[in-house]
């Protein structure tokens, strides 16, 4: 006969998020009728100290041996409550979170319907929690060295922080020098400070640390192991490879500017009178504009390669509006009698001091034309821009000596291959995908792998630098703990049932399953397993199950709904 359990159910109002849409008093009473529920109670915020104290008190007094919290999604607070119960020496895997916010109150209009739905969700959670078994995390030693891939400003800042925290860094840069695109920027918006000086200083500080090992003209071509204990294979320019042992990884491989040749209607590559903002940055920096005969009529075209469905880049490149405002302003300062126009859809000046900087550019005489250029072509010694003035709603033309295409950002060359090597995930545009846009912007779905800067998406320098500091902090969490704590929700194999067919090995995205050649049975490398369950779903003989989600535990959940 199965053991009788004492389940405590703690219901959260989440302020009005749940309390405003569900009749909590009625729900508390309904939950009391569920078999084996010995406590059904509510709190304004279960995650508050007061809420957690109530759970702890019930555990201390031995009133319950299973805990259910009905609140927000497990992504938000499962860890909080697991920690809360473990502080009372209670196994955290005997805890079940039931989401009655995202799954219920936020998406159900009628209060009675929402109350009943919450009850059903809790009933299923109670049914499941009674089948759970205690699990224990495992601990692994850690190599306190971070591999930083990419030596642009993001990589430099992240590496410096890690070195300053007393750990080691292996920095791999594809080019023969550090700096990335920041090396090619003259003055930075909005304060027009010289970026090269800032970069030079940052590189000097970085290189002053003895814990740094730098590989220039090199790339990472292989990665094995698990968080805390990776082995990276680095390919150097003389085609030799070396291996480095590392504990965590930060990807900071940045971006590449959009290739303007992919918009042939703008005649880039056909005339020296059509350039990109990357080339204009260089001309302004080197003071070489005279080689183009001091242009008197200059036209910038915004959003070339961004916000453009026709070439598959629907996203905004975020920096281009400000890059153009900067270059147009500097151009007016250099050639005051030049007529400088900017064709734009709308201006996105979102950063601190950016709106004021955009206004400064306008006040200097830069003309902003709300227009959609469709074609640029040679006409005599000028370039003719054909465009639709979207305010006047009619086609217009403008003759210019120089056309500057404001090119957007795309994932760096080879990003797809690197994503594959690191077993990371690409977003729909090919950038590295973060684990969660709000709650895990620097993490990836691969433990121990973090991202910073433009490899995650277009960014200006302030955002890049902020992310780099954050990624450095995330990448060293294990180092401070001196160990990696591995959650026990991993695949497990019943060796008596396993036939060693290898289907699970082929489906595993994390390389966690291998055939034991001697025994002809599969084995799980628990440190690598992410507990996704793909192998368990694939195994034709049912030899694999996922701890915490065994068939009996999942079925109990379903039966809870149906009962
Ligand atoms: C014309 C222009 C002007 C700009 N002006 C400004 C400005 O005034 N103010 C501002 O805030 N921002 C400006 N920006 C944006 C700024 O350049 C970026 O925010 C910044 O460079 C992002 O830094 P990052 O380190 O993420 O990427 P990157 O600068 O791209 O650095 C990435 C590094 O990684 C290396 N790398 C790539 N792939 C690999 C690989 N597989 N293995 C090893 N190494 C690899 C690259 O060689 C590079 O060194 C401008 C951008 C452009 C194009």
Instruction: Summarize pLDDT for 353-407 with one digit per residue, the tens.
Output: 999 999 999 999 999 999 989 999 999 999 999 999 999 999 999 999 999 999 9
Ligand 1 pocket test: pick from 421, 461, 465, 466 the residue with the most ligand atoms within 8 Å of its Cβ. Answer: 461
H, E, C per residue of 30-67: HHHCCCCEEEEEEECCCCCHHHHHHHHHHHHCCCCCEE
| Listed residue (553, 547, 501, 549) closest to 522, CA to CA | 501
- Dihedral sign, CA of 442, 443, 449, 454? negative
Residue 525 C-alpha to ligand 1 middle, in angstroms? 37
Structure token pair of residue 338: 């030049």
pLDDT in tens, 262-284: 999 999 999 999 999 999 999 99
Report whether pLDDT(168) > 80: yes
User: In CATH, which superfamily holds the domain spanning 258-410?
Assistant: FAD/NAD(P)-binding domain (3.50.50.60)
Backbone angles phi, psi at 539, to 5 degrees: -55, 115
Locate the ligand 1 atom nearest the alpha carbon of residue 462 and give its number.
11
Q: How far is CA 25 from the centre of its chain?
A: 40
The overall average pLDDT reported for the chain is 95
pLDDT in tens, 516-542: 988 889 999 998 898 999 999 999 999
pLDDT in tens, 106-129: 999 999 999 999 999 999 999 999
| Listed residue (366, 362, 358, 284) closest to 320, CA to CA | 358
b/e map of 7-33 (b: 16 or more CB within 10 Å)? bbbbbbbbeebbbebbbbeebeebbee
Beta-sheet pairing, 274-276 with 297-304: unpaired
pTM comes to 0.84
7-135: CATH topology: Rossmann fold (3.40.50)
Locate the ligand 1 atom nearest the alpha carbon of residue 417 and give its number.
41
Report whether pLDDT(49) > 90: yes
Structure token pair of residue 153: 């400003």
Q: What is the pLDDT of residue 234?
A: 98
Distance CA 273, CA 384 (A): 11
Asked if residue 149 has its Cβ within 6 Å of ligand 1, the reply is yes
Report whether pLDDT(232) > 60: yes
Ligand 1 pocket test: pick from 159, 171, 254, 328 the residue with the most ligand atoms within 8 Å of its Cβ. Answer: 254
Ligand 1 pocket test: pick from 199, 253, 432 the residue with the most ligand atoms within 8 Å of its Cβ. Answer: 253
Domain 145-254+412-481 grouped into CATH 3.40.50.300: no
Q: How far is CA 284 from the centre of its chain?
A: 34
The residue nearest atom 30 of ligand 1, judged by CA position, is 254
Asked if residue 154 has its Cβ within 6 Å of ligand 1, the reply is yes
Residue extents of the structural domains in the chain: 7-135, 145-254+412-481, 258-410, 488-547
- Secondary structure of residue 354 in the 3-state scheme: helix
Residue 352 C-alpha to ligand 1 middle, in angstroms? 20
Q: How far is CA 446 from the centre of its chain?
A: 11
Pick the CATH number of 488-547 from 3.30.70.20, 3.40.50.2300, 3.40.50.10070, 3.60.20.10: 3.30.70.20
Report whether pLDDT(248) > 80: yes
Report whether pLDDT(294) > 90: no
Distance CA 313, CA 309 (A): 6
Q: Between 323 and 510, whose confidence is greater?
A: 323
| Listed residue (496, 412, 368, 347) closest to 173, CA to CA | 412
Asked if residue 253 has its Cβ within 6 Å of ligand 1, the reply is yes
Locate the ligand 1 atom nearest the alpha carbon of residue 453 and give its number.
26
Report whether pLDDT(290) > 80: no
Residue 270 C-alpha to ligand 1 middle, in angstroms? 27
| One fold for 145-254+412-481 and 488-547 | no
Report whether pLDDT(3) > 90: no
Asked if residue 460 has its Cβ within 6 Å of ligand 1, the reply is yes
pLDDT in tens, 396-422: 999 999 999 999 999 999 999 999 999
Backbone angles phi, psi at 296, to 5 degrees: -100, -20
Residue 195 C-alpha to ligand 1 middle, in angstroms? 12
Let me know: does 320 contact 407? Beta carbons within 8 Å: yes
Asked if residue 252 has its Cβ within 6 Å of ligand 1, the reply is yes
| Residue 2: pLDDT band with limits 50, 70, 90 | low
């Amino acid at each position: 006969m199965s053991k009788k359990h004492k389940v405590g159910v703690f219901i959260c109002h989440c302020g009005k998020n749940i309390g405003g849409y569900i009749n909590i008093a009625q729900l508390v009473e309904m939950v009391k009728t569920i078999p084996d529920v010995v406590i059904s109670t509510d709190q304004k915020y279960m995650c508050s100290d007061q809420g957690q104290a109530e759970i702890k008190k019930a555990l201390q007094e031995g009133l319950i041996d299973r805990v259910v919290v009905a609140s927000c999604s497990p992504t938000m607070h499962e860890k909080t409550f697991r920690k809360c119960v473990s502080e009372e020496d209670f196994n955290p895997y005997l805890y079940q979170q039931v989401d009655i916010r995202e799954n219920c109150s936020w998406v159900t209009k009628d209060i009675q319907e929402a109350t009943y739905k919450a009850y059903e969700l809790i009933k299923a959670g109670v049914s499941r929690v009674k089948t759970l078994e205690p699990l224990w995390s495992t601990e692994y030693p850690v190599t306190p060295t971070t591999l930083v891939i990419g030596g642009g400003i993001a990589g430099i800042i992240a590496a410096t922080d890690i070195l300053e925290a007393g750990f080691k860094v292996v920095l791999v840069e594809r080019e023969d020098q550090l700096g990335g695109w920041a090396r090619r920027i003259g003055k930075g918006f909005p304060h027009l400070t010289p970026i090269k000086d800032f970069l030079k200083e940052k590189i000097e500080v970085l290189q002053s640390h003895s814990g740094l090992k730098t590989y220039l003209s090199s790339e990472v071509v292989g990665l094995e192991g698990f968080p805390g204990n990776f082995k990276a294979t680095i390919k150097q320019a003389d085609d030799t490879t070396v291996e480095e042992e590392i504990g965590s990884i930060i990807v900071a491989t940045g971006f590449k500017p959009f290739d303007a040749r992919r918009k042939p209607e703008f005649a880039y590559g056909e005339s020296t009178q059509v350039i990109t903002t990357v080339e204009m940055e260089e001309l302004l920096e080197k003071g070489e504009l005279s080689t183009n005969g001091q242009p008197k009529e200059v036209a910038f075209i915004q959003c070339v390669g961004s916000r453009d469905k026709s070439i598959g880049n629907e996203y905004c490149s975020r920096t281009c509006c400000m890059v153009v405002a900067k270059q147009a302003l500097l151009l007016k300062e250099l050639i005051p009698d030049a007529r400088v126009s900017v064709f734009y859809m709308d201006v996105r000046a979102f950063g601190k001091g950016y709106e004021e900087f955009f206004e400064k550019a306008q006040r200097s005489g830069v003309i902003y034309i709300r227009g959609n250029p469709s074609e640029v072509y040679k006409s005599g010694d000028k370039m003719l821009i054909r465009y639709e003035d979207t305010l006047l709603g009619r086609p217009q033309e403008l003759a210019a000596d120089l056309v500057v295409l404001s090119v957007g950002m795309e994932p760096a060359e080879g990003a797809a291959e690197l994503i594959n090597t690191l077993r990371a995930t690409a977003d729909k545009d090919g950038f590295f995908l973060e684990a969660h846009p709000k709650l895990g912007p620097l993490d990836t779905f691969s433990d121990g792998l973090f991202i910073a800067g433009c490899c995650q998406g277009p960014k200006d320098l302030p955002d890049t630098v902020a992310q780099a500091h954050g990624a450095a902090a995330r990448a060293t969490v294990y180092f401070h703990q001196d160990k990696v704590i591995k959650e026990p929700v991993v695949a497990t194999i019943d060796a008596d049932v396993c036939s060693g067919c290898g289907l699970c090995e082929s489906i595993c995205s994390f390389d966690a399953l291998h055939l034991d050649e001697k025994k002809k049975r599969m084995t799980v490398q628990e440190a690598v397993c992410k507990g996704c369950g793909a192998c368990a779903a694939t195994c034709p003989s049912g030899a694999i199950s996922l701890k915490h989600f065994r068939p009996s535990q999942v079925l109990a959940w379903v039966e809870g709904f149906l009962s």
